[in-house]
Amino acid sequence: MRLQIANFKFILLIAAFCSSLFTATDVYAMHISEGILPFNWALLWSLIAIPFVAWGLYRLKKLSAVDLSFKPLVGLMAAVVFIISCMPIPVPTAGTCSHPCGTGISGILVGPAISILIAAVALLIQSLFLAHGGLTTWGANIISMGVMGSFAGFLTFRALRSLKINMAVSGFMAGLFADWATYLTTSVELASGIRGDSPFMPLFWKILIAFIPTQLPLGILEGAMTAGMVVLLYKKRPDLLVKMRVLKAEEVAA
Amino acid sequence: MEIFSEHFKKDHMLSKVDARLKLGVSLFVLAMVLSYKGIVFPLLILCVSLAVCVRIKIPMRMFLLRFSEPVFIASVIILLKFLFSGQEAMFSIKIFGIVITGYKDGLTDGLQIACRILGAVSIIAVLGFSTPFTEIMAALSWMRFPRSFIEILMLAYRYIFVLLEDAMVIYNAQKNRLGYSSIRRGLGSFGTLAGSLMLKAFEHSHNITVSMIQRGYDGNMPALKHKPFKLSEVAVSALAITAIGIIWKI
């Protein structure tokens, strides 16, 4: 037991060290960097990501057949997600800047299928030109940021709205859970990819704890950002939220 | 956004090489780097890629910017593997009652992963620095990537710059009105900025659709055209892959 407490203290020490490293450079902790995952894991995550992206493309084809402006809208939303996930925001506990993922808001607005596609597009541009993420880790990043982030954001928002929770709180919780779901999945992917012959669970917990100093407050900040976005859209263009099926027409009228 | 390759010098040894071949060779070498057990091959690829970047005159600032994140991640991975993963203890010290143990096999694994990261990132850096985005899109289209996906990529890439300009205008206006003077106000301003960008995206998408429909848009953009391969380029690429493959095998 004593040994476990000492181990925990040590992990916290390493977490503090990692946060001090974060001060030296902007952190893009949401994306798994190029080359981290060995070939078999990179391939496995890519194969898992393919059906989700295919589902997004299927939904896109279906929706853009009805509304010609839908494809340009998805393209522009991908550009917004790209910009949001490149924007530095302050992380008070680390005393530095980090970056939100932006799939919480896209999940809320266009649903998880299209949001996964948007994440895939933003991640590909980032990996090719900014070295955020990578081509070999594209699949893994689509799963963590696109699939888990979008589903967490979408489901949280819908669940809270069905309980008549207001827009700001629903948006905040959706952003928070989208961010934390992304970070949790990234930890699973990292631990499984780099563990070698070591057992999975101990390394997973260590990675999870090492990321806490930045990702915990970052989730709260992403929640605040998502709430701000949802509230602004609600105030300025509620018709768009109705068109995107985020709100019902009677909710706007009320 | 100056990191996008279009802003760099265009007349270098790789600028005229077919993007399909560059992408193909890059993916092949990436697969070799990922499946290699050791540090020699990824380090060799890193050195060759760095030499190519110097040869095609990539500004040092851009280069350092591109590698800052991978180097940081590689350092954390080495640390994690060295201190938390392994069987063969290298040293063990006690600081403030906490026993810190460094593992030899953990360090070896960590160094291997770090070299893999740097080698893989350097390959994509060469590809990104030497190939304009539109050419990469054409290459992806030739590789049978779904057409809708390429269209979304093209639209996103085109409007990143437009939306970024909008974002800068909003950000400067907010900053001038002390929108980022405290964390609380900063958060509110950032939410407003992100929301305004989303509104701009809706407006732009409506305007683009109207103008595209006027030009005959029916829901699909014209397919990208591909030039035939040059035999000399294919031969050089095949030679490069064979040579790298032999080194990988050794």
| pLDDT tens-digit readout, A152-164 | 999 999 999 999 8
Nearest to B35 among A39, A77, A198 (CB): A39
CB–CB contact B153 A24 (8 Å): no
A26 in Cβ contact with A96 (< 8 Å): yes
Report d(CA B78, CA B60) in Å as an integer: 25
CB–CB contact B69 A36 (8 Å): no
List chain B residues with CB under 8 Å of A92. Answer: 183
Instruction: Please give the mean pLDDT across all residues of chain B.
Output: 85
Per-residue pLDDT band at B224 (split at 50, 70, 90): low
- What is the nearest CA distance from A111 to chain B, expressed in angstroms? 15
A50 touches chain B (CB under 8 A): no
The residue of A21, A25, A34 whose CB has the most chain B CBs within 10 angstroms, and thus the best one to mutate to test that interface, is: A34
| pLDDT tens-digit readout, A178-219 | 999 998 998 899 889 888 777 888 888 887 887 777 788 888
A77 touches chain B (CB under 8 A): yes
CB–CB contact B187 A221 (8 Å): yes
Interface of A with B in 180-199 (CB under 8 A): 194-196, 198
pLDDT at position B184 is 81
Give the Å distances, CA to CA, from A76 to A2, A53, A141, A237: 54, 18, 20, 17
List chain A residues with CB under 8 Å of B160. Answer: 79, 82-83, 125
CB–CB contact A35 B164 (8 Å): no
Q: What is the 3-state secondary structure (H, E, C) of A199-211?
A: CHHHHHHHHHHHH
A–B CB contacts, 8 A cutoff, strictly below: 265
Give the whole-number percent of chain B exceeding pLDDT 70. Answer: 95
Interface of A with B in 221-240 (CB under 8 A): 221, 224-233, 236-237, 240
What is the ipTM, given to two decimal places? Answer: 0.85
Among A29-33, A116-120, B107-111, B243-247, whose mean pLDDT is lowest? Answer: A29-33
Give the whole-number percent of chain A exceeding pLDDT 90. Answer: 40
- What is the nearest CA distance from B155 to chain A, expressed in angstroms? 5
Closest chain B residue to A12, measured at CA: B98
Tokens of B236: 């050089």
CB–CB contact A80 B113 (8 Å): no
A155 in Cβ contact with A60 (< 8 Å): no
- Find where tokens 């963590």 sit: A144
B79 touches chain A (CB under 8 A): yes
CB–CB contact B156 A121 (8 Å): yes
Q: If you average pLDDT over each of A122-131, B57-66, B218-227, which comes out highest? A: A122-131
pTM above 0.95, yes or no: no
B109 in Cβ contact with B85 (< 8 Å): yes
Domains of chain A: 2-245 (1.10.1760.20)
Domain boundaries, chain B: 5-140+228-249, 146-214
B73 touches chain A (CB under 8 A): yes
Q: Is the pLDDT of residue A30 over 70?
A: no
Q: How many CA atoms lie within 13 A of B76 on its CB side?
A: 28
List chain B residues with CB under 8 Å of A33. Answer: 69-70, 73-74, 117, 121
Give the bridge partners for B94, in sequence order: B99
Q: Is the pLDDT of residue A252 over 80?
A: no
Among A71-75, A93-97, B208-212, whose mean pLDDT is lowest? Answer: A93-97
What would the mean pLDDT of A123-142 be, rounded to a whole number? Answer: 88
- What is the nearest CA distance from A5 to chain B, expressed in angstroms? 9
Closest CA to A188 of A176, A205, A173: A205
CB–CB contact B3 A129 (8 Å): yes
A169 touches chain B (CB under 8 A): no
| pLDDT tens-digit readout, B120-142 | 999 998 888 888 888 888 899 88
Report d(CA A145, CA A147) in Å as an integer: 6
